[in-house]
């Protein structure tokens, strides 16, 4: 493993930070309060090249390797205070674009990837259902082949980007007798007859990332929009969720670094009992803990990226990364608030928003408990 980044990679990260600080933070307090998604900011990120980073030039991407991509996403998390926007971007990159790239036909890739990389279209991934969350493949949405179309029926919930999405990757059962291997993935366009989007789901954090239910009532999907073979849906899902678990939290390394620097500055400036509060071990130890978590989380992230680059499969390591980074992020957010005292509790200081935004990371893409189940399974338990 060699994590010695080139000058170009470091510059790219710095440029991303500058871009994010200049372009993405305006009105964040207002947008968070109003749960408002910004298509304008989405397009700015696409224009900067975020969405296309790991995808080939022929589809409008930058053809960056995975470590470079994660370094940029780290920079984005450091510079951009709009965690909902970053979450939505990540959701599309890893659970919509990546499965299309890995499993799509040439026609599907040419049709959809350029639109997604350029920001013209927004994508969403539909797996979770009202009755199936952690037990992902116990889904009830069905797809029946009728002539040149599959007829989809069912409901998907907690679908990130659904209210603004143009394209959905939807998982449905095509053969119940085959259990999880009877699941198939489909590319469903927004205008497909029988597709309905519910009203937005309000949530605790990541408020600028829109979420809704998606309902399929005799929704017609052309056979050519099946993603991979019938029965290969579980593999499509497992592959994309492994990418998501490996890469989605890279931005949170940036968030943790930003918080750490802010806490160090505050601990040096804020005086109580005639000395900077950083002189009290109660504060300095918290900051030391934040630094240890940041550095260990960063190494775990880089290791899983290196494994994805060199060996492709990294099921257990992706679960370790997801578990450790998300739990570390929540702890850092709590520490940052505690260090800032009453000010940390105020909306104006923006640390309470970081905390609200962080909680979701221990839930989406498999809860922390599910990550531990996966790790234990790989250990033969």
Partner 1 sequence: MNLNDELEKFLLTEIAIDFDPDKKSLSPDENLISSGIIDSMGILKLTAFMEKKFGIKIGNEEIIPENFQTLNALTEFVEKKIKK
Report 86-105 residues binding partner 1 (CB under 8 A).
102-103
DSSP letter at 201 equals P
Please, what is the minimum distance in Å from the beta carbon of residue 347 to partner 1? 41
Binding of residue 137 to partner 1 (CB under 8 A): yes
**Single residue of 130, 131, 179, 193 touching partner 1 by CB under 8 A:** 179
Cα(351)–Cα(343) distance, integer angstroms? 9
Binding of residue 178 to partner 1 (CB under 8 A): yes
Measuring CA to CA, which residue among 96, 233, 241, 105 is closest to residue 174?
Answer: 233
- Sign of the C-alpha dihedral, residues 169, 175, 177, 181? negative
Please, what is the minimum distance in Å from the beta carbon of residue 318 to partner 1? 10
Binding window for partner 1 (CB under 8 A); candidates: 39-47, 218-226, 232-240, 249-257: 232-240
Binding of residue 234 to partner 1 (CB under 8 A): yes
Binding of residue 373 to partner 1 (CB under 8 A): yes
Contact 173, 182 (CB under 8 A): yes
**Burial group, residue 58, by CB count within 10 angstroms (0-12, 13-18, 19+):** exposed
Binding window for partner 1 (CB under 8 A); candidates: 8-16, 73-81, 278-286, 372-380: 372-380
Contact 325, 297 (CB under 8 A): yes
Give the CA count within 13 Å in the CB-facing half-sphere of 186.
Answer: 27
Could you tell me the end-to-end alpha-carbon distance of the chain, in angstroms, rounded to an integer? Answer: 28
Please, what is the minimum distance in Å from the beta carbon of residue 377 to partner 1? 5
Region of residue 216 (phi > 0: left; psi between -120 and 50: alpha; otherwise: beta): beta
Question: What is the CB neighbour count within 10 angstroms for residue 352?
Answer: 18
Main-chain phi, psi angles of 231, to 5 degrees = 85, -5
Nearer CB in complex with partner 1: 229/285: 229
Main-chain phi, psi angles of 158, to 5 degrees = 55, 40
Nearer CB in complex with partner 1: 183/337: 183
Cα(342)–Cα(128) distance, integer angstroms? 38
**Single residue of 239, 257, 354, 357 touching partner 1 by CB under 8 A:** 239
Cα(180)–Cα(155) distance, integer angstroms? 18
Nearer CB in complex with partner 1: 45/236: 236
Nearer CB in complex with partner 1: 331/372: 372
Using CB under 8 A as the criterion, what x/- string covers residues 102-121 for binding partner 1?
xx------------------
Cα(210)–Cα(351) distance, integer angstroms? 21
Q: How many chain residues interact with partner 1 (CB under 8 A)?
A: 26
Using CB under 8 A as the criterion, what x/- string covers residues 301-320 for binding partner 1?
------------x-x-----
Nearer CB in complex with partner 1: 15/105: 105
Nearer CB in complex with partner 1: 147/380: 380
Q: Could you list the active site residues? A: 244
**Single residue of 15, 198, 232, 368 touching partner 1 by CB under 8 A:** 232
List residues binding partner 1 (CB under 8 A).
Answer: 102-103, 136-137, 177-182, 228-229, 231-232, 234-236, 238-239, 313, 315, 373-374, 377-378, 380
């Amino acid at each position: 493993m060699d994590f010695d980044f080139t000058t170009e990679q470091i510059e790219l990260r710095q440029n991303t930070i500058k871009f994010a600080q200049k372009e993405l933070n305006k009105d964040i307090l207002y947008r968070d309060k109003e749960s408002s998604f910004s298509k304008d900011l989405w397009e700015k990120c696409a224009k900067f090249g975020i969405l296309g980073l790991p995808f080939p030039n022929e589809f409008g991407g930058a053809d960056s390797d995975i470590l470079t991509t994660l370094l940029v996403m780290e920079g984005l998390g450091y510079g951009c205070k709009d965690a909902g926007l970053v979450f939505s971007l990540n959701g599309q990159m890893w659970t919509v674009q990546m499965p299309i790239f890995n499993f799509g036909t040439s026609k599907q890739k040419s049709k959809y990837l350029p639109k997604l990389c350029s920001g013209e279209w927004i994508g969403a991934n539909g797996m979770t259902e009202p009755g199936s969350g952690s037990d992902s493949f116990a889904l009830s949405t069905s797809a029946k082949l009728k002539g040149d179309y599959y007829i989809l029926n069912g409901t998907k919930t907690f679908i990130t980007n659904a209210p603004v999405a143009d394209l959905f990757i939807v998982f449905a059962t095509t053969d119940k007798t085959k259990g999880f291997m009877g699941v198939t993935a489909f590319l469903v366009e927004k205008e497909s007859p029988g597709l309905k989007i519910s009203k937005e789901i309000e949530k605790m954090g990541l408020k600028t990332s829109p979420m809704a239910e998606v309902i399929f009532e005799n929704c017609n999907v052309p056979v050519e929009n099946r993603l991979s073979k019938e029965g290969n849906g579980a593999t499509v899902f497992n592959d994309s969720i492994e990418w998501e678990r490996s890469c989605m939290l890279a931005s949170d390394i940036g968030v943790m670094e930003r918080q750490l620097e802010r806490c160090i500055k505050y601990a040096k400036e804020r005086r109580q009992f005639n000395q900077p509060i950083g002189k009290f071990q109660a504060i300095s130890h918290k900051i030391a803990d934040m630094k240890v978590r940041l550095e260990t989380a960063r190494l775990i992230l880089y290791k899983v990226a290196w494994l994805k680059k060199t060996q492709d499969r990294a099921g257990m390591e992706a679960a370790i990364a997801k578990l450790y980074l998300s739990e570390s992020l929540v702890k850092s957010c709590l520490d940052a608030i505690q260090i800032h005292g009453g000010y940390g509790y105020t909306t104006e200081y923006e640390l309470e928003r970081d905390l609200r935004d962080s909680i979701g990371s221990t839930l989406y893409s498999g809860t922390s408990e599910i990550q531990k189940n996966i790790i234990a399974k790989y250990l033969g338990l």
